[in-house]
Amino acid sequence: EHGTHNTTLKDVGERAGYSRGLASNRFGSKEVLFSQMVRDFNRKWASGLKGFVEDRTGLAAFMSAFDAVEYFLMNHTIEMQALYILWFESMTSHTVVRRRLAANHSAYRRDAERWVREGIEEGTIRPSIDPSCFAVEFAALIFGLVYQWLVDPSAINIHAVFQHYRRSTLEILAERRP
């Protein structure tokens, strides 16, 4: 409602229905609260991702992970909006959150890169695909899409974009068998 910079721990405590000082007493600073929120979401995301990917590898794992991202955006919309706003707004003023976000980005790229490498080894992904570059492109799509969606939700049809990206990605990645 007020952005990360204009929100106070007093506001958080009151809005949660507790005393003005509870959030301050529990967390000490907004940065610690925000970091805790990011950590808690990361745990939820990791569990959800694992449920989608299961024991898949390569192209199948990548596509399942992509399904997980769409599922979270479409089915946990308010939580996702709040989390990404927190991330985007906190980058310049909350060092702990920025470091945690950088670590998240690194982990997301590492996973995508691993899936591409596995797909190349399995023969389901073309060997001409650069796993590192593709991982950066994938992360850029997700974070860029979310940014646009936050700025103007009615202008972005998340499902349509994901459907198009699935088709495009399969055209780019999938090894063509004669």
Q: How confident is the model at residue 134 (pLDDT cuts 50, 70, 90)?
A: very high
Q: What is the pLDDT of residues 39-81, one digit of tens each?
A: 888 888 889 889 999 999 999 999 999 999 999 999 988 888 8
| Cβ atoms 156, 149 nearer than 8 A | yes
Residue environment code for 21-43, b if the CB has 16+ CB neighbours within 10 A, otherwise e: ebbbeebeebbbbbbebbeebbe
In this structure, how many other beta carbons lie within 10 angstroms of the beta carbon of residue 132? 13
Q: In the predicted model, is pLDDT for residue 108 greater than 80?
A: yes
Ranked by mean pLDDT, the top range of 1-10, 77-86, 145-154 is 145-154
Q: What is the value of pTM for the model shown?
A: 0.82
Q: What is the mean pLDDT of the chain?
A: 87
Mean pLDDT confidence for 107-131? 95
pLDDT of residue 110: 96
Single out the residue of 129, 126, 124, 142 nearest to residue 61, CA to CA.
124
pLDDT of residue 86: 79
Mean pLDDT confidence for 3-12? 81
> What backbone phi and psi angles, to 5 degrees, belong to 36?
-60, -40
pLDDT of residue 41: 83
Q: How confident is the model at residue 131 (pLDDT cuts 50, 70, 90)?
A: very high
pLDDT of residue 96: 75
